[in-house]
Chains A and B, each alone.
Chain A
Amino acid sequence: MNIQFKKGVLEMCVLSLLKQGDKYGYELADTVGRQIDISEGSIYPLLKRLKNEGYFEVYLKESPTGPARKYYRLTAKGIDMQESLEKEWYEFSHSVDRVLGGGQK
């Protein structure tokens, strides 16, 4: 699949995963990496950018097995963004479906 396309969708995937609950970096990278063929390393720059733009908050939480982990939590702005991206995505994919289906409405 086209790399730019995947990158764009990645942002929506990360926001959507976080909407289901707070997660740490590895969880996000691993979950997305299992479903979508993408370098997991590209998740971290994305997380940093979205954090800088105020879509997440970050906090450290002890893990039972090792050092503390960095958790990401959606802010209200992040939730808004997720909802609008999801909505746009469905509209967009339906439109593309229609085009692929021969342009009937």
Chain B
Amino acid sequence: MTKTEFLQQLYNNLSPLSDGERKEIIQDFEEHFSVGLENGKTQEQICSELGSPESCAASYLQGANAAERYSQGRSAAYTVPSVKKGGANPNDGRNRFLWSIMFLFLVICAFGVYPTAVCLMLSPIAVALLALFVLAVSWSAAAAGFLVCLSVALFSAGLLIFLAMTALLKMSFKRSGF
């Protein structure tokens, strides 16, 4: 294969890229050929060392896709696989242990926390009953407003506690790896 053939095929295979990028890539390879020729290699030899233009183009396209997907952060294509030091990572084990303790602790807390949350969520019923009596005795808009706000606040607090407790339990359960 000659230099011209190689560059032509490379250029053709890079069609998904922009014109600017294609030209830049071709320039890089032209430079490679010109230095190689200066060093006394033949076009044929340089082409065979470079490999096929199709596979070069494929690497560029792969790189472009990877760059899109991983525009943030570390190189996509390769990292040395992480190594477990001395069998297992001691940090892993310790963290799991701590999370297990956390989970058990939370389970015990849950016995108190969930009834509290349910009571809080149901308390608007009590407030409503109270309201019936109070407002029947003496109607006042201010008292009615206050009682509505109170029920909303109690219910929200109950719901919040319920959700927070559930989230904490889930998290510690997952991290402890039971």
Report A's interface with B, CB cutoff 8 A.
7-8, 11-12, 24-26, 29, 33, 39-42, 44-50, 52-53, 65-67, 69-70, 81, 85, 88-89, 91-92, 95, 105
Give the CA-CA distance A69 to B137 in the complex, in Å: 95
Could you tell me if B35 and A24 are in contact, using CB atoms closer than 8 angstroms? yes
6 A-B pairs, CB-CB below 8 angstroms? Answer: A8-B77, A29-B49, A42-B59, A45-B62, A50-B75, A66-B35
Main secondary structure of the interface of B (DSSP, over half): helix
B→A interface (CB under 8 Å): 25, 27-29, 31-32, 34-36, 38, 49-53, 55-56, 59-60, 62-63, 66-67, 74-75, 77-86
Alpha-carbon separation in the docked complex, A45 to B78 (Å): 14
Contact B34 A67 (CB under 8 A): yes
Contact in complex: A92, B55 (CB < 8 Å) = no
How far is it, in angstroms, between the C-alpha of A68 and the C-alpha of B150 when the chains are bound? 78
The reply to whether B78 and A44 form a contact with Cβ atoms under 8 Å apart is no
The reply to whether B63 and A92 contact each other, CB–CB distance below 8 Å, is: no
* Interface SS of A by simple majority: helix
Looking at the complex, which one of A11, A24, A29 makes contact with B78 (CB distance below 8 Å)? A11
Chain B nearest CB from A44 CB (Å) reads 5
Most interface-central of B25, B55, B59, B62 (chain A CB within 10 A): B59
Residue of B nearest to A5 (CB): B78
Known A-B contacts A8-B80, A45-B56; the reply to A39 vs B51 at CB < 8 A is yes
With CB as the reference atom, state the residue of chain A lying closest to B85.
Answer: A91
Report Cα–Cα, A95/B88, bound state, in Å: 12
Q: Which B residue sits closest to A53, measured CB to CB?
A: B75
A25 pairs with B31, CB closer than 8 A: yes
Nearest residue (CB) in A for B10 is A41
Decide if A52 touches B67 in the complex (CB within 8 Å). yes
Could you tell me the distance between the alpha carbons of A54 and B77 in the complex, rounded to whole angstroms?
A: 15
Is there contact, CB below 8 Å, between A26 and B56?
A: no
Closest-CB distance, B59 to chain A (whole angstroms): 4
| Residues A49 and B32 in contact in the complex (CB < 8 Å), given A42-B55, A44-B25 | no
Q: Which of A39, A46, A47, A95 contacts B50 (CB 8 A)?
A: A39
The reply to whether A49 and B35 contact each other, CB–CB distance below 8 Å, is: no
